[in-house]
Amino acid sequence: MAINLNALREGPFESCFRTNCVHALSLLVFTRLRVDIWAFGTGQQYTAHQSTVVKLGNCIEGVTMVQSKFGNGGRMVPVLYYAPQSPPCRSVLMLARRIGLHLELKLMNEEELTAPAFLALNPQHTVPTLDDRGLVLSESRVILSYLASAYGNEADLYPRDYCARAVVDQRLQFDLGTFYQRVVDYFWPTLLFGASLEPMKKAKLEEALGWFESMLKYYQWAAGNHFTIADISLCVSVSQIDAFEFDLGAFPRVCAWFAKCKKELMPFGYEEINQAGANTLAGMFRANSKQ
């Protein structure tokens, strides 16, 4: 089946036409299984594997939309290497549910993480790791933005507008480098090794919570007036300290936002994915802090 170029000018394919690939490329969908792209003038044909999608640069948006329009029949679905209790994995799993993306899940144990085959994919041996037809990504927040861009139909989840997107990216990086990092710094030595909790690290975490409290002053959600992937990432971080019974009483906006996030994510696995994982880590924390 061929898609008429003009028919692509509207609806979900419009973004392809905002880019300069419009004059150079035509998209031809031959089967439900494959998207083929012909470069005008060159006679060259590309299939929509990741490497060619990258070569095609700006056309990536149009290609992925064609793919999502025609579903996964026969195609490889993205593979997610994961561990259910891992906070960064929980955010990716909830996003996948939210955007209706089927992932092939590969549960990883410690031994498998350092096996040569996995190290070849991700030398850092961390989960989540995503393999989408050869595009291998670690770092959950990057996976969130990639999946929302490539497969999401909800414009606000990871906005295209570069100003709005920059705010989302700022919040994601605040979570990665500051907030969630301080959660790990404070709780993980006890969780993993039974070490005593350190008051200085608690103060650092409270400081980060105070900054997040200020960010919520002017917006309904973490990165603006729409629910975004930054809410998913930060919600997982806050849910973890909540499960550790950390007192959030001094941060009323964080508490109100957290309650809204739970409601928003409830249909997308909040209980079975996120709360269950948070409870598992909280159980380990309690057991180790008694030793």
**Binder to ligand GSH among 126, 145, 237, 239 (CB under 6 A)?**
126
> Closer CB to ligand GSH, residue 39 or residue 184?
184
Residue 131 binding ligand GSH, by CB under 6 A: no
Residue 75 binding ligand GSH, by CB under 6 A: no
**Minimum distance from CB of 136 to ligand GSH (Å)?**
13
DSSP state of 203: H
Neighbours of 19 (CB within 10 A): 17
CA dihedral 191, 196, 200, 203 (to 10 degrees): 50
| Pairwise CA distance, residues 136 & 234, whole Å | 23
**Minimum distance from CB of 16 to ligand GSH (Å)?**
30
Pairing of strands 129-132, 104-107: unpaired
**Minimum distance from CB of 179 to ligand GSH (Å)?**
12
Rg of the chain over all Cα atoms, to the nearest angstrom: 21
Neighbours of 200 (CB within 10 A): 9
Cα 12 from chain centroid (whole Å) = 22
Residue 226 binding ligand GSH, by CB under 6 A: no
Both structure tokens of 240 = 């973890």
Which residues are identified as catalytic? 86
Residue 239 binding ligand GSH, by CB under 6 A: no
Residue 140 binding ligand GSH, by CB under 6 A: yes
Residue 113 binding ligand GSH, by CB under 6 A: yes
H/E run at residue 120: helix 116-121
**Binder to ligand GSH among 56, 66, 94, 127 (CB under 6 A)?**
127
Chain positions 165 to 224 lying near ligand GSH, rule: CB under 6 A, are 176
One character per residue 83-112, x = contact with ligand GSH (rule: CB under 6 A):
x--xxx------------------------
Neighbouring residues of 136: CB distance < 8 A, sequence distance ≥ 6:
121, 122, 129, 130
How many chain residues interact with ligand GSH (CB under 6 A)? 13
Provide the binding-site residues for ligand GSH, judged by CB under 6 A. 83, 86-88, 113, 125-128, 138-140, 176
